[in-house]
Amino acid sequence: MSAVAYEGRIGPRANLRHIGALARRNLLQIKQDPESMFDVLLMPVVFTLLFVYVFGGAVSGNQHAYVNYVIPGMMAMIGMNIAMGVGTGINTDFKTGVMDRFRTMPIARSSVLIAKIVVEIGRMLVATAILLVMGFALGLSIDTSALNLLAAVGLALVFGASLMWIFILLGLVMKSTQAIQGVAMLVLMPLQFGSSIFAKPTTMPGWLQAFTKVNPLSALADANRGLFNGGPVAHSALITVAWAVGITVVTAPLAVAKFRGRT
């Protein structure tokens, strides 16, 4: 029986087993290549020190005040940068012949992609934890509660997971990892800096303020600040969730269909 024919008979329980097995495979790859975790371990440290000590005094008057502004926003940026790695990983797997093995196995094609997302969410959680530790070391304070902190982390993970489907699709469409990284940077840079992550939009020109208002990263950053420091949360959180759901609904089926076509 072919893998394609078998796929239609795979039940939810078997699909979960496949996702678990493939997730373990991805974790073993990380164990064998610990250098692949350098971005997760070092990126939050470098970015926190860079933005706090370079921009903190200019934007907020002092570094301590800026820590409480920028760390909630940087949770959105961390998710975007880690999501990019999913696309390059998928692209590399096709080039190294890993996907040829999956083609002969009686597994659901979607389980391969979902397993990658599960592992990357774990990597994102580690990076977020390091970011928060750095923030607390530099004076970050939570004026609400530990539950609100967990809600902010969860919101960032949900949005980051939705972005992974975009990069998976890019990884399946683009011919090289360099092309994926090039396109990603063209998209990531305007989204990150044209948002409320690093500075208040009121200091920006009118046309850029209009862009920040519709930028989902601004909504996520504002929601996290409300959860950290108190203030309005519901509107920004709903916009963030709506973006996450919309991105997933549009890109996930396209990515799975493209993946099935290639395998």
**In this predicted structure, what is the pLDDT of residue 100?**
65
Tell me the C-alpha distance between 67 and 24, whole Å: 36
Q: What torsion do the CA atoms of 9, 121, 163, 176 make, to the nearest 10 degrees?
A: -80
Instruction: Give residue 2's pLDDT.
Output: 42
Structure tokens, 55: 């921009």
Rounded to whole angstroms, the maximal C-alpha distance in the chain is: 68
Predicted TM-score (pTM) of the model is 0.86
pLDDT at 9: 62
Is-contact 195 115, C-beta < 8 A?
no
Question: What is the rounded CA–CA span in Å between residue 212 and residue 206?
Answer: 10
Distance (Å, rounded) from C-alpha 246 to C-alpha 162?
Answer: 9
Q: DSSP character for 33? A: -
The total of other beta-carbon atoms located within 10 Å of residue 86's CB is 25
How many CA within 13 A on the CB side of residue 66?
19
pLDDT tens digit at each of 263 positions of the chain: 444 444 456 667 777 888 888 888 888 878 887 877 887 888 899 999 988 988 887 777 778 889 999 999 999 888 888 888 888 888 887 777 777 676 667 677 778 888 889 999 999 999 999 999 999 999 999 999 999 999 999 999 999 999 999 999 998 888 888 888 888 888 888 899 999 999 889 889 999 999 999 999 999 999 999 999 988 899 999 999 999 999 999 999 999 888 887 66
The predicted pLDDT at position 175 comes to: 83
Q: How many angstroms separate the Cα of 138 from the Cα of each of 49, 51, 71?
A: 9, 12, 10
Residues listed for the chain: 263
Encoded amino acid at 101, one letter: R
Count of Cβ atoms closer than 10 Å to residue 239 Cβ: 17
* Residues 128-163 as b or e (16 or more Cβ within 10 Å = b): bebbbebbeebebebebeeebbebbbebbbbbbbbb
pLDDT at 104: 67
Segment holding 227, helix H or strand E: helix 216-229
- What is residue 244's predicted lDDT score, i.e. its pLDDT? 96
Q: How far apart are CA 124 and CA 135, in angstroms?
A: 16
Angle at 55 between CA 53 and CA 59, to 5 degrees: 130
237 in Cβ contact with 155 (< 8 Å): yes
